[in-house]
Amino acid sequence: MANVFGNCIKLSIFGESHSDAIGVVLDGLPAGLPLDMDAVLAEMARRAPGQNRFSTPRKEADAPKIVSGLFQGKTTGTPLCALIENTNTRSKDYQPELLRPAHADYTAFMRYHGFSDYRGGGHFSGRLTAPLVFAGAVLKPYLAAQGIEIFAHIKSLGKEKDAVFNTISPDIEAYRNIQNRELALLDENLIPSFAKVIDNAKENSDSVGGVIEALITGVPAGLGSPFFESVESRLSAMLFSVPAVKGVEFGTGFGITELFGSQANDAFCLEKGEIKTKTNHNGGINGGITNGMPLSFSVAVKPTPSIAKPQQTVNIETQTEETIAIHGRHDPCIVPRAVCVIEAAATIVMADLLLEAKTYAEPATERN
Amino acid sequence: MANVFGNCIKLSIFGESHSDAIGVVLDGLPAGLPLDMDAVLAEMARRAPGQNRFSTPRKEADAPKIVSGLFQGKTTGTPLCALIENTNTRSKDYQPELLRPAHADYTAFMRYHGFSDYRGGGHFSGRLTAPLVFAGAVLKPYLAAQGIEIFAHIKSLGKEKDAVFNTISPDIEAYRNIQNRELALLDENLIPSFAKVIDNAKENSDSVGGVIEALITGVPAGLGSPFFESVESRLSAMLFSVPAVKGVEFGTGFGITELFGSQANDAFCLEKGEIKTKTNHNGGINGGITNGMPLSFSVAVKPTPSIAKPQQTVNIETQTEETIAIHGRHDPCIVPRAVCVIEAAATIVMADLLLEAKTYAEPATERN
Amino acid sequence: MANVFGNCIKLSIFGESHSDAIGVVLDGLPAGLPLDMDAVLAEMARRAPGQNRFSTPRKEADAPKIVSGLFQGKTTGTPLCALIENTNTRSKDYQPELLRPAHADYTAFMRYHGFSDYRGGGHFSGRLTAPLVFAGAVLKPYLAAQGIEIFAHIKSLGKEKDAVFNTISPDIEAYRNIQNRELALLDENLIPSFAKVIDNAKENSDSVGGVIEALITGVPAGLGSPFFESVESRLSAMLFSVPAVKGVEFGTGFGITELFGSQANDAFCLEKGEIKTKTNHNGGINGGITNGMPLSFSVAVKPTPSIAKPQQTVNIETQTEETIAIHGRHDPCIVPRAVCVIEAAATIVMADLLLEAKTYAEPATERN
Amino acid sequence: MANVFGNCIKLSIFGESHSDAIGVVLDGLPAGLPLDMDAVLAEMARRAPGQNRFSTPRKEADAPKIVSGLFQGKTTGTPLCALIENTNTRSKDYQPELLRPAHADYTAFMRYHGFSDYRGGGHFSGRLTAPLVFAGAVLKPYLAAQGIEIFAHIKSLGKEKDAVFNTISPDIEAYRNIQNRELALLDENLIPSFAKVIDNAKENSDSVGGVIEALITGVPAGLGSPFFESVESRLSAMLFSVPAVKGVEFGTGFGITELFGSQANDAFCLEKGEIKTKTNHNGGINGGITNGMPLSFSVAVKPTPSIAKPQQTVNIETQTEETIAIHGRHDPCIVPRAVCVIEAAATIVMADLLLEAKTYAEPATERN
């Protein structure tokens, strides 16, 4: 019901924070796609905790083990299943009866009638984004071979703002460097001030959120469909699957509501014989379908719900109000680690859209 | 691929602006649901053009004709098909070779290889929201019978801002009056200033957008699923289907990124023995599942793309740059008419979620 | 839940025997497919009642009215909706409280809690196969353009048996004549004896069933997928949707169970450099995927449930046992009219499979 | 595309004969379902090879390892993933260039462009039925708790015929013994003659097929939906997923075509106040929906394609005709081991139908 995504590539994720393993099944992958495990591990390392001073010191051995669908280094086209074992877990950190505010403890209890695995957030753990990152890493070369690249950066942390992508003539070379920085910012000079936002939150036993902006370059015109299968619908359904995402906007997004039509309408022009737009307030999408301009969107990531600061809550067993302070190893800000998750989520959707587009790539007859 | 929505209720929409009719098929409706055609027509009148001075004088006879699935005034449970005939159309207003900026002319041309019906925007016409409003009107009593109500208002037009919903203790009585106002505002006193925004745009042959905020009251805890079927994923997929929507946020949305975790985490409390939250920054959803608080979200609606002001564009036949001025009867602002579309869109998703929730309403065994 | 079929082409049917109309929405059609209404009407005439002495004298004006998705004589690629109005209906023939044996009266009552439209069988009427025939007629030229043809004939009526298709080297020219015969038989000489089976049933106020054999020529190797999306799974799901079908078998079907492996295994051979099989007991499918041989299958069609002969039944209102004799205009044998329905059903599935095959038509990299 | 089944319970299978493991993900399981691993292993042992003299001496350690979705012995409601490791594999038995007749070697090559894992049949191995049996075993207690049981027996092997189920008043006690017999026959006395059919085939380096009949007791009336989601469509789609199945029929199936309507129509009667039918030629299904009678169907299982007898084939690399003799450990008849696979397949479909039925279990209003 809940854990299968995609029209052409069916992605099925499973696992709990403290189960034997978490993992993913990818069905409908193109056959013959080479899988470079080093590249996959590099992507997964971006998400893994303990990579730098901004994230929890908890180390996870996140090496995925591929149990099917790969033969002689290439995808077979039949379902590829990858497992990521759960090893470094400390169950004693959790008291299931105390509902952690802004976590899924209460909603999971209601949804699954008390049978869900509550240890470490169970199936709702942010750890479940690792299979997404794996899937994105597998599909990244498939997009690359078609000239499509996906970039993301931290657009803001708290009230601190980074520069924004150029959505008309993106500086792809520069954007490729973003992920090598200590924090994924366009403007390197802002790293200290962004770092300070995180450090302050940490010192206060608190947490902070931010906005991630993404850009997809090399997208052909004519991808996607009207209404329920619009590119916006497809991407947003996937992006809102990522825990902590509370907003998604395309192009100028909410800002477009403060423009006049004469400003917001991206005028068409010809550039070396190709139809382009002079601005890109619509984020590369008109009527749910790509228009050949770079695709741009932003997502709002809420502050990490786990904080050491005391919070009021309810004990679900005793039905009394209590105070909770969540100790243990938690990121004061998950935005830096979420950057590659957003890239992966977008990669999965774009790969699915590209495969689906083959079904409408040609008309039944030629137009005169 | 594109025009079927829903897990339990399959909604299928069809039609073009100038085809014989547009319409909808609703499969999976509960049997025995009474259909009050007056109530349906009243909902549809809210969307219809020409209702007041803010919308185009074009009058449409939007009376839906139900051709199947209704027997003795109640749904049969088999597919309900409703048609809305296209009558008041003026084909001569359209020049297909001139791509209207921010419309789907170009993307439809690319997607359908030049075979799509371009008259009046064809399948991409805002008129296709009429079947959505119809579907919402059919399902509204189904939600009402379970104590669920959906409200929406114009949160902003351009830079003009309305009050916002109380998402903790909503004043339902007051909210029921919103839709009777000339403009769907919480604060009636703001009607003149909001009207002025629209009037100004009109005078300038321009258009303006806005934000619509919605609130769903009476939602039980435990609806929805993690990840790809999160309530946010489901709602956003539908909301981004509505033409002109470029952003969707839940609860405090993008604003949550400027809060600390200690502010953003909605603390749990007990209210008359029931678990509630003291704030509602998460919009009634944790981990993709409803937590029993009112569900709140906002959508960004871009300015009407059709403006009389001259705009630069490309002639797709001659492949030259030209100027276009879109005359004809167009709303300078579609936000007022979009309010009931957003309500209908949310109604459809909530009904689908409620039906689906029956499949997980009970555990396989009792918990000790 | 029940009335939407297909992965790439979404087919949605609706209507009841006595509602205003029945119809179909076809989403995902290739754009630019010419629609020859005369050819469509010719296909629909094959299914229509009253065509010859074997079918009910009831005449239906089954001309479909296309309300969307067609522009300048070709499909637009957006949803095509067609309506078939219900005109010649005689509601007084039906007594809903008396459950007609082998009809869906009782099951519909239980499934829809007494709210379904019982007149003329409502949504369960054989009349709902008309939209399928329409859809098949729309898609037939799409298959033809790829060299694929679908043939069907009456393999048996009661205990009377026709010749069978040559599934190795089909005589396509000859098979094109089948549908022009008074009864769709391979062996024209058998028409009188088959006619007698029907006439006898009619004289006895009884009915008779039969088997329809179908052959699909020109199918490329490599269509379909393993397991749940096997060609057999896809075709059977559609074929069992056709009312009165109680069995589906591929190739030699149930007969293959009486062969030894050495007989049943279709040996591979080379024919003008192409890989073929010497026999075709597997009906052109191995492991759920087409092998390039003609695809063959048979379906069992039960005797028309409506018979004038008195039958024992239950009055669902009074909860007493009663006798029912179903008068009115009913075919003593629906097999002749079902031939084109089976062809249409197979056409829809093949078109969907062909579109889907585009997603796996090429590997991600070349094989060395 | 191919390996995900189900509306409410999403079943996703993966793996190849010689990959690290095969397995299954079950999403949408009811929460709180106890999992009795001994019972699961007992079901899996029925399918495992090497259980008796009729099956290959190859022993597989088919113990499934549950990696997620189970907590404190009960299902959590989140995805349950189980792995079955591949251990006892002998890769050297396979020559991929020689296409094994009636296997999927050629079709897999064409479908996956030469990238599929050919060892041991890869993803097309009969071994992939083990995850189905596992899934069936997990869900069997869910059906049992609702009074539903599924039985299957070998109806025929070659030309040898067993007795058939009583589909009106089934002798459930007796049917529970079937699976304890050396061969799953209703008539124990026939075991020697059925055994001889297998032994003969083995001696001749050949193989033999058969028909499996299944019966589902305790099914409530009103399950399923018309047309594409008919109980026949759903069951057949799953049953044709099982490798080697070439035919599926419900009730009297193909035999019903030789009856008159007056014989085939199952007359309604009252039995202790309940509506029943006097015969059950329709296999408990009218109009795609269950009628409260036992559900009955039969499937045709073709002879094992792997035989030691020399067969003509084509070498796909050299493109020449050659002779192949398949040595190694293969069952001369897979029908005995397929009995529990058919039961499991039906169990999965019935569980999915029962969950889905909750969405239409109640009308929106009461009927007067």
**Sequential DSSP letters for D68-85:** ESEETTEE-SSPEEEEEE
CA distance C289 to C93: 47
Per residue in A308-364, pLDDT tens? 999 999 999 999 999 999 988 789 999 999 999 999 999 999 999 999 999 999 999
Average pLDDT over residues B87-99: 75
Residue B231 pLDDT greater than 50, yes or no: yes
Residue B1 pLDDT greater than 50, yes or no: no
Chain C residues touching residue A8 (CB < 8 angstroms): 359
pLDDT at A329 (0 to 100): 76
Average pLDDT, chain A: 94
Average pLDDT, chain B: 94
Dig out the tokens for B92 from the structure: 């001569």
Burial B199-237 (b: 16+ CB within 10 A, else e): eebbebbbbbbbbbbbbbbbbebbbbbbbbbbbbbbbbb
Q: A-B interface: how many C-beta pairs under 8 angstroms?
A: 406
Burial of B180 (0-12, 13-18, 19+ CB in 10 A): exposed
pLDDT at C109 (0 to 100): 97
Kind and range of the H or E run holding A296: strand A295-301
Interface of C with D in 147-176 (CB under 8 A): 156-159
Neighbouring-strand partners of residue A154: A212
Return all residues near C64 (Cβ < 8 A) that are at least 6 apart.
C23, C40, C44, C82, C83, C84, C130, C134
pLDDT at D11 (0 to 100): 95
CA distance B12 to D279: 40
Q: How many helices (H) and strands (E) does chain B have?
A: 8, 18
Say if residues A366 and A262 touch (Cβ distance below 8 Å).
no
Q: Cα distance from C149 to chain D (closest Cα, Å)?
A: 21
CA distance D28 to D8: 6
CA distance A152 to A217: 11
Average pLDDT over residues A227-248: 97
Burial of C294 (0-12, 13-18, 19+ CB in 10 A): buried
Return all residues near A323 (Cβ < 8 A) that are at least 6 apart.
A310, A311, A312, A313
Interface residue D89 vs chain A (CB under 8 A) = no
Per residue in D164-212, pLDDT tens? 999 999 999 999 999 999 999 999 999 999 999 999 999 999 999 999 9
Per residue in C264-281, pLDDT tens? 999 999 999 999 999 999
Interface of C with B in 59-78 (CB under 8 A): 65-71, 74-78
For residue D1, name the pLDDT band (cuts at 50, 70, 90).
very low
Handedness of CA C317, C318, C320, C322 (dihedral sign): negative
Interface touch C364/A32, C-beta < 8 Å: yes
Chain A residues touching residue D3 (CB < 8 angstroms): 10, 25, 27, 78-79
Nearest CA in chain B to D365: B32
C interface test, pick of D5, D160, D241, D254 with most C CB neighbours within 10 Å: D254
Interface residue A289 vs chain C (CB under 8 A) = no
Residue D89 pLDDT greater than 90, yes or no: no
Average pLDDT over residues C188-208: 97
Per residue in B99-145, pLDDT tens? 999 999 999 999 999 999 999 999 999 999 999 999 999 999 999 99
Q: Cα distance from C76 to chain B (closest Cα, Å)?
A: 4
Identity of the amino acid at B127:
R
For residue C203, name the pLDDT band (cuts at 50, 70, 90).
very high
Nearest CA in chain B to A275: B314
pLDDT at B89 (0 to 100): 63
Interface residue B8 vs chain C (CB under 8 A) = yes
Given A248, A306, A316, which is nearest B236 (Cβ)? A248
Residue A88 pLDDT greater than 70, yes or no: no
Dig out the tokens for A116 from the structure: 């869900």
CA distance D156 to D163: 9
Residue A194 pLDDT greater than 90, yes or no: yes
CA distance A177 to A174: 6
Say if residues C93 and B9 touch (Cβ distance below 8 Å).
no
Burial D146-160 (b: 16+ CB within 10 A, else e): eebbbbbbbbbbbeb
For residue C366, name the pLDDT band (cuts at 50, 70, 90).
confident
Identity of the amino acid at B213:
E
Say which residue the tokens 């997809």 belong to. Answer: A216
ipTM for this prediction: 0.96
pLDDT at C92 (0 to 100): 62
CA distance A264 to A270: 19
Chain D residues touching residue C277 (CB < 8 angstroms): 101
Q: Cα distance from C105 to chain D (closest Cα, Å)?
A: 8
Q: Cα distance from B124 to chain A (closest Cα, Å)?
A: 6
Per residue in A22-74, pLDDT tens? 999 999 999 999 999 999 999 999 998 876 677 665 555 578 999 999 999 99
Kind and range of the H or E run holding C46: helix C37-47
Stated pTM of the model: 0.97
The number of residues making up chain D comes to 368
Per residue in C54-108, pLDDT tens? 766 555 557 899 999 999 999 999 999 999 999 866 656 668 899 999 999 999 9
CA distance D89 to C161: 48
Interface touch D356/B359, C-beta < 8 Å: yes
More confident residue, C91 or A242: A242
Average pLDDT over residues B273-300: 98
Gyration radius (Cα) of chain B, Å: 21
Interface touch C261/D307, C-beta < 8 Å: yes
For residue D123, name the pLDDT band (cuts at 50, 70, 90).
very high
Dig out the tokens for B67 from the structure: 């051709």
pLDDT at C1 (0 to 100): 47
For residue B365, name the pLDDT band (cuts at 50, 70, 90).
very high
